[in-house]
Amino acid sequence: MILARQFRPGPAAFLHELPGGFVEPDDEPAAAAEVLQETGHRGTLQAVTTCWDDAYPNVRRHVFAAADCVKVAEPTLERTEFVDLVLMPLDTFRATVLRRGRMTDVEAAYLALDHLGLF
């Protein structure tokens, strides 16, 4: 698993996240996946689904899975981004991050794992 670890002010904690970003009005959702930009890895990007981000705003989350990733560059973060790249075996991810609620986008992780047949 390739994860981004960042401080999040709401819970005042460092949490793991899947790489990603916001979809700009004229962009395709795949352009916002930011796997190469945030991680320096390239892989086969697969669209999984689109779901509601939360029950209150009208924000939609586009979920993608990147398979067969290979590091091809260093991450190129924005000057306002402070991200630690974390590479983790799938079993460790399940036991120490996913099942313990130590990430912000749990539903996207479960949906991607299910799509890849790893759930």
pLDDT digits (tens, 9 = 90+) for 43-65: 999 999 999 988 888 888 999 99
> Other CB atoms closer than 10 Å to residue 32's CB: what's the count?
15
pLDDT averaged over every residue in the chain: 91
Whether 32 has a pLDDT exceeding 90, the answer reads no
pLDDT digits (tens, 9 = 90+) for 14-23: 999 999 888 8
Whether 42 has a pLDDT exceeding 90, the answer reads yes
In the structure, what pLDDT confidence band is assigned to residue 25 with cuts at 50, 70 and 90?
confident
In the structure, what pLDDT confidence band is assigned to residue 37 with cuts at 50, 70 and 90?
confident
Q: What is the pTM of this model?
A: 0.87
The three-point CA angle 25-67-78 to 5° equals: 45
Q: In what order do the strands lie in the sheet with 13-17?
A: 13-17, 2-8, 84-87
Query: Among 45, 26, 49, 27, which residue's Cα sits nearest to residue 35?
Result: 45
